[in-house]
Structure formats: structure tokens, C-alpha cells
Structure 1
């Protein structure tokens, strides 16, 4: 589809007052890239519902609040940290719930896996001493903008340790905006906060002036 077609499909978040801006479509790379660069994200699969929330939750990349316990575990280096080694497995782990359903359904996994293959979606993996994946996070990076999608922990604090390393690399790459969409207890504790949608869209516009994939800098550990 062309940019014109996407403009007709999605309501303009700057003008539309409702959170829901479209229903339908697909998880194609072009559609996802258009959505993310215009402050829109999908939140269900059947049908696909697209949202631009007001207010919007974000992190200041330089002011994330990790607990002393998390920082101590990072310093101890008991875990092996990798980037983009197990993207599909990280998504599947984020989707796993014992008692309820999650929005990360098979269509999401297929669509974002293709986004990953083309260099736009990334994962951070945390492996224990037995080389078992115990935590991770994934999201979408465009220009100097990162959209954090989900994280998981099969061992205490493992997801937050993944986030710690993600933020460190984002700072090295001079990212300016981290979108976490909606506040929850965990992101609030880490320092996320809400801003008006129009303020978010202004920041996003500056962050995606150059629509290029993220080349992750090597670790200095």
C-alpha cells in the first residue's frame, strides 16, 4: 500500500480524539512502520485494532530507576546478555500466561518476526549459568525512537536486567524517545510517566526524522 492509502486507512492522531484510530488491515512491515512513525500501534488481532493513546506513557532514556537489587545483579554479571539471538522465543515467552490470554497472538508473532528480519524489531535476552533463557524484552526501533513492546521474567528481575542493558545501548546510540504506551505498576516504578498525545507526537516526529533501522553498538563488557 502507498502512504496515501495508509493516510486513508488510519485516522489522523493529531485530529482524532478517540484512542482507537483504525480496525482491520494486517501486520505487514510497511503498515507497521507507518503506524509506529505516526504514533499508532496494534493491540489486538481478531480484528486488528490500532490505537493512539491520550495520554501516552514514555521513559526518559537517561532517567530510568532501577532498584539496588537489579543494579547489584547487573554488576555481578551472573547472566549472559545477548541482542537479537532469540527474537521469536522472546516474543513467545512474553506471550505466555498461566491463567489468562495475552494480546501477543500468533499473528503478532509472525508480523513482528518479519519486522525483526528486516532490521526494525529487536530483542534482548538474559541467559542463566545453565544457558537457559530466563528473561527478555523486545520492541521496535526506528531512527532515534524505540517502542518497548513487552518483557518477561522466568527468574527474579531478569526482565529488568534486560531493560537495563537495552537502555544502556539506546543511550550509546543517542536515542531520544522510548514509548511504553500505557503506564502499569512495573513501568511506573521504573520511572515511566504520561504526557499528552500531542506532546508525544511532537517528540516522535523529531525522533523519526531519519527512518532508518538501528545498528546496535557492540558491548563494552
Structure 2
């Protein structure tokens, strides 16, 4: 089971958040308790400076990109791609975060401080990676995020081989729905065309918070309990 950290001294309250304003706060810290309180409240961190540097911003997109587990769409070509790779969970968390933070990536926002913060969450059993490997070879794709109850809050994904990040997302959904609990949800923050092709949709903030409240009542998937 994950280790519960000391509670945060910060409080995340979206009652004053304005519709369609994604940025809802600044400051605070990246302690494990703060991050967990943020995700449970529908908020996540991303720096406001160049390439994610301080000050820290706290975001609650309106609308929010979500993947309901029954909505996952897997094309025939993606099923074929799955057979080319090996999928592992939590065997190379730091490597996945480092790949997502690659300075050459467009829109890079993961700083050393952010990477270290999620490394601490991983050590406590809250943050997880889904990794895609060439059989017997290199890490070619993956994603990482935070699991709280039935919520998986996706933070970032990467690929070095065609379809590898999509394979990681499909594997994540299959892990989450293995025991059939309908309350589980994948939060992807913002919808992109790439994610929409897999079934991601947008919902207003209020609807997301209702889905979140339901997801938090679900147990963690069996591999992470």
C-alpha cells in the first residue's frame, strides 16, 4: 500500500475559480502531501516560467481532458503495434520521467524540482510509470502519473518508436479496468488530437469534479494496493 505522507499546509479550493480559467493559483510547494491534496481537489502543478521554471502555477483546466475507461478506442493497427513491444509497470520510473523531461522536446515543462517531487511520490507508492520496451531491448515509450483511489492523473508521456506512447496508454487502461470497477478515470489534463484518437473527450470543470469525486471512492488497482 502507498505510504501516507504528512498533510499539506495548503488548501486547494476551486469554489472561486472562474469558468474557462485554467490557472487557478500560484505558489505553495511540491511536498508529497501537497501534490496528493491537489490531485484530490482537481488541481495539478506546472511552472509558469520558461520551460516550467518558477513561479509554480496550479491548474484546473476548463474544459478538462478525460478518458473514461469504456471510451478507449484501439484501432486494428494499434493492436498490431502492441504485439511488437513489451509493457512493464514501475520498473524504470526515473527513466520515463527523464525522457518526458528531455530538453529537446517542444513545450518541455518538467524541471529537476518537478522530477524530484514525483520521484518522492513514486518512492511512497503514489506515482507510477507504464513503460514500453523493445523485446529484450531499449525503453522506447511510456507515461507516468499519480494514482489516488480510482483516479489516474496522467502527467506526461513520450515515444521513441511509432505508437509506443499509445501502447502505454492502452496498457494503463487495461490495468485500471482489470477488475471491472466503473468508477475509475484517467485525467489527461488537456485534450489533444493525439489523445482524442484514443477516446479522450472534454468535460466542463464541474462535471470533472463530479467524476473525480466518484473515482476517489474506488480502490486502487490491484497491482498498486
Alignment match, 1:93: 99
| 2:130–2:142 Cα contact (<8 Å) kept | yes
Q: Distance in 2 between matches of 1:40 and 1:31?
A: 10
Q: In the aligned structure 2, how far is the partner of 1:161 from the partner of 1:98? A: 23
Root-mean-square deviation over aligned CA pairs: 1.9
TM-score (norm 2): 0.86
Q: Please point out which of 182, 201, 212 is paired with 1:204.
A: 212
Q: Note closer, same or farther for the CA distance 1:99–1:124 as it changes in structure 2 (3 Å cut).
A: closer
Structure 1 moving runs of 4+ over 6 Å = none
Structure 1 Cα separation of the partners of residues 23 and 146 of structure 2: 20
Preserved CA contact (<8 Å) 2:64 2:203: yes
2:16 aligned partner: 15
Task: Kindly tell me the number of residue pairs found equivalent between the two proteins.
Answer: 210
Correspondence 1:216 to 2:223: yes
Question: Equivalent residue for 2:201?
Answer: 193
**Structure 1 residue runs without a partner (length 5+):** none
Measure how far apart 1:34 and its partner are.
0.2
Q: CA deviation at 1:19?
A: 2.5
For structure 2, the 5+ residue unaligned runs are: 1-5, 48-52
**SS state at 2:130 partner:** strand
Distance 1:2 1:122 in 2: 21
Cα deviation, residue 66, structure 1: 2.1
CA distance in 2, matches of 1:23, 1:79: 40
CA distance in 2, matches of 1:29, 1:215: 22
Counterpart Cα distance in 2 of 1:162 and 1:99: 19
Residue 84 of structure 1: aligned partner: 90
Is the CA contact 1:23–1:50 (under 8 Å) kept in the aligned structure 2? yes
Separation of aligned partners in 2, 1:187 and 1:107: 27
1:36-115 to structure 2, matched below 5 A, reads 36-44=39-47, 45-74=53-82, 76=83, 78-98=84-104, 100-115=106-121
What is the aligned counterpart of 2:177 among 171, 183, 190?
Answer: 171
Per-residue CA deviations over 1:85-119 (Å, capped at 9, x if unaligned) read 00010011112253645111111100001111111
Is the Cα contact below 8 Å between 1:119 and 1:214 reproduced in 2?
no
In the other structure, the counterpart of 2:143 is 137
**What secondary structure does 1:172 align onto?**
coil
| Matched-pair contact (CA < 8 Å) for 2:7–2:34 | no
1:150-170 deviations in Å (ceiling 9; x for gaps): 111101111111111111000
Q: CA 1:72–1:186 in structure 2 vs 1: closer, same or farther (change >3 Å)? A: same
Alpha-carbon distance in 2 for matches of 1:186, 1:23: 29
